[in-house]
A and B are shown apart, each in its own frame.
Chain A
Amino acid sequence: MTAFGREAGSTPAFGPVRAPLGRLLRSELRWVLHRPRTQVALGLLALVPVLIGIGIVVTDSPAGGLLTQIAGNGLVLPIAALSISLPLLLPLAVTMAAADALAGESAHGTLRGLLLAPVSRTRLVLIKAVGVLAVAVAAVAAVAVLGIVTGLVLLGPSGSTHGLLTLSGTEVGPGSALARVSLAAVWTVGQLAAVGAMALAVSSATEHPLVVLAVVLGGLIVFGVLSAIPALDWLQPVLLTTGAFAIADVLRDPLPLDGLASSSVRAGCYLLIGLGLTLARTATREA
């Protein structure tokens, strides 16, 4: 530290001082989870499985797809609810968190405060990524847990094993059923982490949270449209939305893992690209 040599003695020489990472992460999680909009979003997401469950009990005439499997087979409900929420509702919650994480903080002038403290820009991205991931986990947990509870209370477990009737027609026990629901939840968190990372990348490039929502949700809709056009089949491997139906695989017996794995690898690629772009943009961002 030759630059500070002349100040050694009566003044404290500067050293590389940083706030404890744990303290910063706790502060971020507290901020993210105390925010009214996060709590409202989590509450509304938790209503999704409840509404589906009530709908099935009341109408007694299932609409189709996964829903045909639910009546009298309650543990399908959390998986159906996750599957229904995955295209838009869950990404909306995660994108909202990512939009607030950098663009929103910048708009409030609070990003400046963090950079002046100072929190290094790399650490800032790390902390923000953890905050967004926390919202993804909380959102998936809200849907899955309320799905399990509603499914068991309103529809009951399946048959003699008190577990799950799979799409393949076999029955599995309650332990295996819960493991399958957990697998679906973890896989969903992975998909959402990819969306969150891309949303953070957009968030690092603007100070308007609304732009982040528009770009990311617009992007997901465009992906959906592109994957519906047969002539653009060759695009399928690079679209994040391609593997979305793999979640139904957890209802098959024996469990086929390749669909879940390939969509997770694809999500991992999006995650890395998103975080890379966020780091690059944040490093040079004017706050």
Chain B
Amino acid sequence: MTAGQVGPAIRARGLRKMFGTTVAVSGVDLEVPAGAVLGVLGPNGSGKTTMIRMLLALSRPTAGTVELLGAPVPAAAGEVLPHVGALVEGPGFHPFLSGRENLRRCAAAEPLLPSRTIPDAIERALHRVGLADAAARRYRAYSLGMKQRLGLAAVLLVPRRLVVLDEPANGLDPAGTREVRRIIAELHADGTTVLMSSHLLTEVEATCTHVAVLDHGSLIASGPLAALLDGEAPALDVRTPDSAVAMQALRAAGIGAVACPDGVRVELAGTDPPTVVTLLVGAGVAVHEARRWRTGLDELFAQLTEGNGQ
């Protein structure tokens, strides 16, 4: 439980990483509140994994500082990482060992796991990711989805305060994707802070409370999911067969609008939905449906990345 925790679970300041002369991550300031589920969105090559690797002390930042659970990283990595579970750059296991044997090897290295509880912890983790039946098979014979599940099982060996998942739904079928969502929801309910990266926008929209969007190594938007969605220009979608008449009436009233395939999208700057609907009905427009238009996250994501990419 995080009841007593005051500071953010992750705090990065001015995080920067250069590979030679290539800037992989530049000046990222990130703060993840304790208990949040943060989705890090970005197209391939946007620096998501590089950022995550720096957060976890796997890679040294060229500049900037990281604090995990209030402790400086990498200085205090030995003390804070036992509380952190991570699946980075895909699952890494030995092909000649079974799933269970691989987890035994992971469990042996977990500082917070007392030796006598290891067998139980392994069986529980295998069960939780739905691998109990395949645990005795060699990792070599696992499908991509099973490999991903085993990676999640390794994260779940110990109760964590922070879980970092790099592309957790990668290679999973729809059922597997639902299970990952369920596991993230369970972690969230337990008060665990979760950071997950994805290029699947629906994944982030379905599971996250907070979003950070990375593009070309820079953080171009971050905040609570709802705030990011509302931050867009509000608009009203009106479904009508008389879009030409509607456009005329709106233009005459000085209200911005664009034609859509089955109606008009009305900008709500300086006006509100009742006014717009009254105006349209008064002009003889048949209003079949009026709905507040919210930018889908993919719309936002596309806008943000396209705007920055030019």
Contact = CB atoms under 8 A, between A and B. Distances in A.
Interface in A117-166: 117-120
Interface string B72-109: 10001111111110101111111111000000111011
B203 to A, nearest CB: 22
Interface string B1-22: 1111111000000000000000
A118 B82 contact: yes
A6 B104 contact: no
B247 to A, nearest CB: 57
A252 interface: no
Interface stretch (B54-62, B124-132, B221-229, B251-259): B54-62
A172 B166 CA distance: 66
Given A112-B88, A115-B58, A3 B93 contact: no
Contact of B80 (A14, A110, A117, A284): A14
B60 A284 contact: yes
Nearest to A27: B108
Nearest to B101: A34
A259 to B, nearest CB: 41
A11 interface: yes
B110 interface: yes
Interface residues of A, number: 38
A4 B70 contact: yes
Interface in A1-38: 3-4, 6-7, 9-11, 14-20, 23-24, 26-27, 31, 34-36
Given A11-B5, A23-B115, A27-B108, A116 B94 contact: no
A43 interface: no
B250 interface: no
A115 B5 CA distance: 26
A114 B35 CA distance: 26
B112 interface: yes
Contact of A119 (B2, B109, B154): B109
B136 to A, nearest CB: 15
Given A7-B70, A23-B115, A118-B109, 16 more contacts: A11-B1, A11-B161, A14-B71, A27-B109, A109-B90, A109-B92, A112-B92, A113-B109, A114-B109, A115-B57, A116-B58, A116-B84, A118-B78, A120-B78, A284-B60, A287-B59
8 nearest A-B pairs in the assembled complex, by CB-CB distance: A109-B92, A10-B4, A27-B108, A117-B109, A17-B111, A118-B81, A14-B79, A11-B4
Interface of B: 1-7, 53, 56-60, 69-72, 76-84, 86, 88-97, 104-106, 108-113, 115, 154, 161
10 contacts: A6-B7, A10-B3, A14-B71, A17-B112, A19-B108, A27-B105, A109-B89, A112-B58, A113-B92, A118-B109
Interface of A: 3-4, 6-7, 9-11, 14-20, 23-24, 26-27, 31, 34-36, 108-120, 284, 286-287
